[in-house]
A and B are shown apart, each in its own frame.
Chain A
Amino acid sequence: EDQVTQSPEALRLQEGESSSLNCSYTVSGLRGLFWYRQDPGKGPEFLFTLYSAGEEKEKERLKATLTKKESFLHITAPKPEDSATYLCAVQGYSGYALNFGKGTSLLVTP
């Protein structure tokens, strides 16, 4: 059974203080690993898809990387508007559904 574990559960950063969020996964054949951003009371917003170990993708202050066991979402010089919950999900070849972790709640203070 696919499993996704995100850490930490919550993270508080000062504006400009870079850090990383972790997503550890087990899946029987990885079709894709996904990162989403979710603001309170809203639906998740797609950020990245990673397909194979060694792959990296960037968008503004965010960079996602992938190994065979985990993915990292690196946040460089964060701003208060980066505050949100970041969700990681995997899709395996055994099914079509996305399996989500519980998320990391990020708060960036001025």
Chain B
Amino acid sequence: DGGITQSPKYLFRKEGQNVTLSCEQNLNHDAMYWYRQDPGQGLRLIYYSQIVNDFQKGDIAEGYSVSREKKESFPLTVTSAQKNPTAFYLCASIRQGSTEAFFGQGTRLTVV
């Protein structure tokens, strides 16, 4: 079945550590996105990528980094510079020429 897979579902991080969240899609979609969701805040855009080896910062990119070496994969690294990383992280993808975004099931990151 085609879809977007995020892993892990739950992730715990110690303060000062970098962690990487995985997002893989087999939909052959060109564009991929990372959003952060906090209670009462809605979804806020972190980074997005329209094509391989190219990506742009969203509204809250500070403390995060991404790479897009393959069309299928768009990993997100939460660095120690991110002051408040505890949140629900969502990955999405869109096929070129379409406007419908498909979302993964999310990764809940908690700083301990």
Q: Please give the residue numbers on chain A whose beta carbons come within 8 Å of chain B beta carbons, in ascending order.
A: 31-32, 34, 36, 41-46, 49, 87, 89, 91, 96-103
Q: A42-B105, A43-B103 are in contact. Are A102 and B40 (CB under 8 A)?
A: yes
Contact check, B100 vs A91: say whether CB atoms are below 8 A apart.
no
Q: Please give the residue numbers on chain B whose beta carbons come within 8 Å of chain A beta carbons, in ascending order.
A: 4, 6, 31, 33, 35, 40-45, 48, 50, 58, 88, 90, 92, 94, 99-106, 108
Q: Is the interface of A mostly helix, strand, loop or mixed?
A: strand
Q: How far is the CA of A43 from the CA of B89 in the complex (A)?
A: 9
Contact check, A98 vs B42: say whether CB atoms are below 8 A apart.
no
Chain B residues, Cβ within 8 Å of A97: 33, 45, 48, 58
Q: A96-B48, A100-B43 are in contact. Are A43 and B106 (CB under 8 A)?
A: yes
Chain B residues, Cβ within 8 Å of A41: 88, 106, 108
Q: How far is the CA of A99 from the CA of B101 in the complex (A)?
A: 12
Contact check, A101 vs B101: say whether CB atoms are below 8 A apart.
no
Contact check, B41 vs A102: say whether CB atoms are below 8 A apart.
yes
Contact check, B42 vs A96: say whether CB atoms are below 8 A apart.
no
Contact check, B48 vs A87: say whether CB atoms are below 8 A apart.
no
Contact check, B99 vs A91: say whether CB atoms are below 8 A apart.
yes
Contact check, A101 vs B42: say whether CB atoms are below 8 A apart.
yes
Give the residue name and chain of the B residue nearest to A102 (CB).
Answer: B42
Contact check, B90 vs A43: say whether CB atoms are below 8 A apart.
yes
Contact check, B33 vs A98: say whether CB atoms are below 8 A apart.
yes
Partner of B42, one of A42, A46, A100: A100
Q: How far is the CA of A3 from the CA of B101 in the complex (A)?
A: 19
Chain B residues, Cβ within 8 Å of A99: 45
Contact check, A34 vs B99: say whether CB atoms are below 8 A apart.
yes
Give the residue name and chain of the B residue nearest to A1 (CB).
Answer: B59
Give the residue name and chain of the A residue nearest to B9 (CB).
Answer: A41
Which of B44, B94, B101 counts the most chain A CB atoms within 10 A? Answer: B101
Nearest first, the 8 closest Cβ-Cβ pairs linking A and B are A43-B103, A102-B42, A100-B43, A32-B99, A100-B42, A43-B105, A44-B103, A97-B45
